[in-house]
């Protein structure tokens, strides 16, 4: 499939720590790509590169063929309207209602009327199964509902690309299944593209069209779920099996 986005030969450091080293990843258009790897491997950094929140020290990040590093700050903000970001802990403002949180990107970055914004908020909440929580405060929601509210805010601008940072972390299997199904449904409804970071392999295998494994700063395996499961790479197999025995240093 054609790539909607591409991380191309990227190196990125946090101080003296090299997080990504000559890392390349294609994000297939119209598909869900899941990123797997050890904790602290740099998976969330890749999401922030794709959204322009971080700039590489070397290499390029392309979205729709546009090198994000070449955009002026004002143009980058405008460009981000087509990239939704569902943060790990939802990151809703406690002082705003759920509906006000979801409306925020539209109020700040569009010229839509109040009626149009209200309609978009209702549609986004309906899409994630939360039509009855618009006037509630974030503190009144359960963990799973809070995550779905974050999803609703991420998709309210009808983005081409949605980035999900560990959407199922710390949740029980039932809610994990609900969120996995919601991500699949949103990708279909938006006719868009998604990148998901998760440590829940069962969830990944259920939703992913493609899986990429990040290890020591580079993508070491990429393919469909079936291809990843039968990968000959011992690092991939050790990770999938959760084994203490193998080449991954503990």
Domain count, the chain: 1
Predicted structure pTM score: 0.92
Residue 166 lies in a domain: yes
Q: pLDDT for 173-229, tens place per residue?
A: 998 999 999 999 999 988 899 999 999 999 999 999 999 999 999 999 999 999 999
CATH number of the domain to which 190 belongs? 3.40.50.300
Residue 106 lies in a domain: yes
Q: pLDDT for 70-110, tens place per residue?
A: 999 989 988 888 899 998 777 889 999 999 999 998 888 78
Host domain of residue 189: 31-51+75-213+222-229
Give the residue ranges of DSSP H helices in 51-127: 73-79, 98-109, 114-127
Instruction: State the pLDDT confidence band at 28, using cuts at 50, 70 and 90.
Output: very high
Residue 193 lies in a domain: yes
Closest CA to 199 of 50, 14, 40: 40
Q: CA-CA distance, 126 to 235, in Å (whole number)? A: 41
What is the rounded end-to-end Cα distance, in angstroms, of the chain? 36
Closest CA to 21 of 238, 231, 220, 237: 220
Residue 84 lies in a domain: yes
């Amino acid at each position: 499939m054609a790539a909607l986005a591409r991380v191309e030969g990227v190196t990125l450091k946090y101080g003296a720590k090299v997080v990504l080293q000559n890392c390349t990843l294609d994000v297939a258009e119209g598909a869900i790509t899941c990123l797997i790897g050890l904790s602290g491997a740099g998976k969330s950094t890749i999401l922030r590169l794709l959204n322009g929140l971080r700039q590489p020290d070397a290499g390029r990040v392309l979205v729709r063929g546009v090198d994000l590093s070449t955009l002026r700050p004002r143009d980058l903000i405008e460009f981000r309207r087509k990239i939704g970001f569902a943060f790990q802990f939802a990151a809703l403002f406690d002082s705003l209602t759920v509906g006000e949180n979801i409306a925020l990107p539209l109020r700040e970055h569009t010229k839509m009327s109040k009626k149009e914004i209200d309609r978009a908020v209702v549609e986004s909440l309906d899409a994630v199964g939360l039509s009855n929580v618009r006037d509630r405060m974030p503190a009144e929601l359960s963990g799973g509902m809070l995550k779905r509210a974050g999803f609703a805010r991420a998709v309210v601008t009808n983005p081409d690309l949605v980035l999900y940072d560990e959407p199922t972390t710390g949740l029980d299997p039932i809610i994990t299944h609900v969120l996995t199904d919601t991500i699949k449904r949103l990708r279909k409804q938006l006719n868009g593209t998604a990148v998901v970071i998760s440590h829940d392999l069962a969830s990944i295998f259920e939703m992913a069209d493609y899986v990429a494994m990040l290890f020591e700063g580079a993508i070491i395996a990429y393919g469909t779920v079936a291809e990843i499961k039968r990968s000959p790479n011992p690092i991939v197999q050790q990770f999938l099996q959760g084994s203490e025995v193998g080449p991954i240093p503990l």
